[in-house]
Amino acid sequence: MAFEDLKKEVTSIISNTETPVKDRLTNICEALRSSIPYYNWVGFYFANHESQTLHLETYVGTPTDHVVIPFGKGICGQVAVSNENFVVPDVAAQDNYIACSISVKSEIVVPIFKNGKNIGQIDIDSDTPDPFTKDDEFFLEWVNEQVAILL
């Protein structure tokens, strides 16, 4: 499915105000994973700025032990500090990387901003090497803007 069609689906999920926010986030994860063949694990982490940790709010894909990640650790923790998208074409080439599953070849993490503050991120793991383009970044930035309105 093209990103433009997927945007319509995400908009529809977000507008389901009867559905609890966490369930809507899970539904977004599921819509993304089922529509984009190289999105194999999709999840949202939210930041606790006091404890300087990220917390896994919801996800779809292989269960992970990494439900709490300190700022600075792994790809996710680095994005909590850098406030910038992090595209990893080859996870094996990263020193500061937390492996969730041996099948994962690449990863993209895009921060979520609310009132200018980095409050969390969407994290996507792929079993495909080097699949992510600028279109993925633009799309995921758009998703995060919609999610920020919900929070």
Q: Footprint of ligand SME on this chain (CB under 6 A)?
A: 41, 43, 64, 66, 69, 74-77, 97-98, 100, 107, 123, 125
Smallest distance from ligand SME to CB 87, Å: 13
Nearer to ligand SME, 8 or 57 (CB): 57
Smallest distance from ligand SME to CB 82, Å: 12
Q: From residue 61, give the alpha-carbon distance in Å to each of 96, 118, 147.
A: 22, 24, 20
10 Å CB burial of residue 41 (0-12, 13-18, 19+) is buried
Nearer to ligand SME, 81 or 115 (CB): 81
Which structure tokens are listed for 45?
A: 């982490």
Q: What is the largest CA-CA distance in the chain?
A: 44
Smallest distance from ligand SME to CB 16, Å: 26
Length of the chain: 151
Nearer to ligand SME, 107 or 136 (CB): 107
